[in-house]
């Protein structure tokens, strides 16, 4: 009987888990596409503020140059920057804002982390749509292209996993939980 109760509990938990899809949706000799979909427990206008103004609250500091999320910022304006100010006075531009539909879509251009050192290019699109129960559906699509001597088969899953970690943290913070799961 305890096994049946445990299985029932697990099925009930799965039934109430927000939608989550994360995958490398395309890969070729010239690049890859990674897509993540998360249900956020905030309406789109509040999710937009968390996504942009609240970036340091949900971005994983271990995937920054300075090792601290407080140095990260996102200026959601034309030509704005997802930048990082480091303790030693240095800084890095991770992504540049190239398209904004306030509260709905943000398109960012650039290569995150080591992708920039590899000479790759990237386009990341974040969209918010009304979701279930007054929340919102957040979708991130990151298209990376360029030349890699050994191809993208090994790199694509690693980039997908890092971005997935960021967006899982976003989902937790939107639900009022700590970023760490």
H-helix or E-strand spanning residue 171: helix 155-174
Q: Is residue 126 part of a domain?
A: yes
Q: Within a domain: residue 2?
A: no
pLDDT value at residue 6: 27
| Number of domain units in the chain | 1
CB neighbours of residue 156 within 10 Å: 21
- Give tens-digit pLDDT for 72-111: 999 999 999 999 999 999 999 999 999 999 999 999 999 9
Residue 8 located in a structural domain: no
| CATH assignment at residue 46 | 3.30.530.20
The pLDDT tens digits for 21-39 are: 779 999 999 999 999 999 9
Is 104 within a domain?
yes
CA distances 48 to 14, 53, 146, Å, are 27, 8, 30
Angle (nearest 5°) at CA 47 between 93 and 18: 110
pLDDT over 90 percentage in the chain: 86
In a domain, 12, yes or no: no
pLDDT of residue 43: 97
> What pLDDT does residue 21 have?
72
Q: Which residues contact 59 (CB under 8 A, 6 or more apart)?
A: 69, 72, 166, 169
pTM for this predicted structure: 0.86
**Residue 1: inside a domain, yes or no?**
no
Is 5 among the domain residues? no
Q: Which residues pair with 106 in a beta bridge?
A: 100, 126
Long-range contacts of 12-18 (CB under 8 A, 24+ apart): 18/171
Phi, psi of 133 (to 5 degrees): 50, 40
What pLDDT is attached to residue 20?
Answer: 63
> How high is the mean pLDDT of the chain?
89
**Ramachandran bin of 160, using left for φ above 0, alpha for ψ from -120 to 50, beta for the remaining angles:** alpha
Query: Three-state SS for 168?
Result: helix
- pLDDT digit string, tens, across residues 62-75: 999 999 999 999 99
Q: 165 lies in which domain range?
A: 19-174
């Amino acid at each position: 009987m305890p096994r049946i109760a445990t299985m029932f509990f697990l099925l009930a938990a799965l039934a109430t888990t927000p939608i989550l899809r994360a995958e490398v949706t395309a890969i070729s000799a010239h690049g890859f596409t990674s897509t993540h979909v998360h249900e956020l427990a905030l309406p789109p206008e509040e999710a937009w503020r968390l996504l942009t103004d609240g970036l340091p609250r949900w971005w994983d500091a271990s995937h920054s140059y300075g090792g601290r999320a407080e140095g990260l910022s996102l200026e959601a304006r034309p030509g704005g920057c997802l930048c990082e100010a480091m303790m030693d006075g240095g800084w890095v531009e991770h992504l540049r804002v190239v398209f904004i539909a306030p509260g709905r879509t943000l398109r960012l251009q650039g290569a995150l982390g080591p992708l920039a050192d590899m000479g790759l290019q990237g386009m990341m699109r974040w969209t918010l749509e009304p979701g279930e129960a007054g929340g919102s559906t957040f979708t991130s699509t990151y298209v990376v292209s360029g030349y890699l001597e050994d191809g993208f088969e090994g790199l694509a899953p690693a980039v997908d996993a890092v971005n997935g970690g960021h967006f899982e943290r976003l989902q937790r913070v939107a639900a009022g939980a700590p970023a760490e799961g």
